[in-house]
Amino acid sequence: MQQKISCGDTTNCGVKKKKTKKVSKLHNNNNTVPRNILESLRIVELGAGTGITGIISGALNARAVLITDLSEVVDGITLDNIHANRKLLYVDPQQQPLKMRVKGIPLCWGNLEDETIAKLALDELSDPPILLSNNITPSNNELEQNIISQDSIDDTQERRRDGIPDLLLIGDVAYQHKPGAPSHFDVLLETMLRLTDELTIVVFGTRIRMEASKDLTDMILAHFEHLCAPVQADEIDPAFGTVKKHNIEVHLLRRRCIID
């Protein structure tokens, strides 16, 4: 069953989203994944749905996790799942008042107001790091010039990465696109560019359901480059090997940059 969801007059991001069932409580299994593997990272998840990826990131002690989707999804699904798993997501279960390392909020792709609120929320969860410049600036791509205005910085300067995550998670968001139909890809790419810098790693998982679904990957790769070859789902979990033509792969990406 599908439901049409729209999110305002300022953007063209009304898309159909499948209704998603809530996930049950997660089990904290320290025998498979190191508990502190994400300890220092600030993470944002786009199009999260159930929020399971962001919740697991929080359970693995990520520094801060912001889980986002359209308001109908966040209010109807995501927040309930965060609450159900809250005992895994406290910064310090012994410290009062209890503070969560994970938060769910609405974010409509391409909506500047939503993006600003998301950046502030990420910084509230965890203060932004202050880094020395490595003298890398974004490329001169025309779209990026329209999206991001960033002055060159020399080697002696420090800068704050306000509202910028270390890790941007995007999973299976291309299922709606059909040849010739209106696409949400443009506004998604705009949000990706505004929520990343040259240090952000993007984990983009996608399932190619039709030829046109490759359009999003091609658009992203015009602005981001692979850190390694795409990984097939069955390489991560052999169970996918039993699924005929799963067409699921994970891309690890970083912004294309020019080194001066």
Q: Cβ distance 158 to 133 under 8 Å? A: yes
**pLDDT value of residue 6:** 32
Q: Which residues contact 130 (CB under 8 A, 6 or more apart)?
A: 158, 159, 160, 161
Work out the pLDDT band at 7, boundaries 50, 70, 90.
very low
Question: Cα angle at 65 between 64 and 66, to 5 degrees?
Answer: 125
What is the percent of the chain where pLDDT is above 70?
70
What is the percent of the chain where pLDDT is above 90?
49
**pLDDT value of residue 56:** 93
Q: CA-based Rg of the chain, rounded to a whole angstrom?
A: 18
SS3 category, 235: helix
Residue 105 in this model has a pLDDT that exceeds 90: yes
Residue written as token pair 């699924």: 243
**pLDDT value of residue 11:** 36
Return the minimum-mean-pLDDT range out of 28-37, 105-114, 209-218: 28-37
Residue 41 burial (CB count, 10 A): 18
Residue written as token pair 């890809």: 185
Q: Which residue type does 230 have?
A: P
Residue 83 in this model has a pLDDT that exceeds 50: yes
Question: What is the pTM (predicted TM-score) of this model?
Answer: 0.79
Rounded mean pLDDT of 9-28?
Answer: 45
